[in-house]
């Protein structure tokens, strides 16, 4: 049985995933309420290791620097997405999330 806090977190994550899907589909979402915290969703690029086409040679460093700028603030909620068909032990998203927030808080 999940605790009430775990249920609230699951609901929040589901809501975030739904909002991200709508944003990716081109919808613009605006919500105004005095009783709800403001929430900004930022879809960051995947971590690229090898430059493709006209990408700069230091694309990996540029993306990592940008990711760290967004995920380091204390108020940030990191939603690390990893493909279901890959091993979590090899997830770059989880690795950088653990670097920034080793306790997972």
The residues spanned by each domain of the chain are: 1-36, 44-105
Segment among 7-11, 12-16, 39-43, 82-86 with least mean pLDDT: 39-43
Q: What is the pTM of this model?
A: 0.61
Which of the two residues, 80 and 33, has the higher pLDDT score? Answer: 80
Q: Reduced to 3 states, what is the DSSP secondary structure of residue 73?
A: coil
């Amino acid at each position: 049985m999940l605790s009430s806090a775990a249920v609230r977190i699951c609901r929040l994550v589901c809501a975030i995933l739904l909002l991200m899907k709508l944003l990716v589909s081109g919808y613009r979402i605006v919500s105004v309420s005095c009783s709800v915290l403001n929430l900004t969703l930022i879809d960051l690029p995947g971590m690229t290791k090898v430059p493709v086409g006209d990408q700069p040679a230091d694309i990996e460093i540029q993306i990592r620097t940008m990711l760290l700028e967004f995920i380091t603030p204390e108020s940030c909620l990191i939603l690390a997405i990893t493909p279901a068909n890959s091993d979590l032990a090899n997830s770059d998203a989880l690795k950088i999330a653990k670097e920034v927030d080793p306790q997972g808080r």
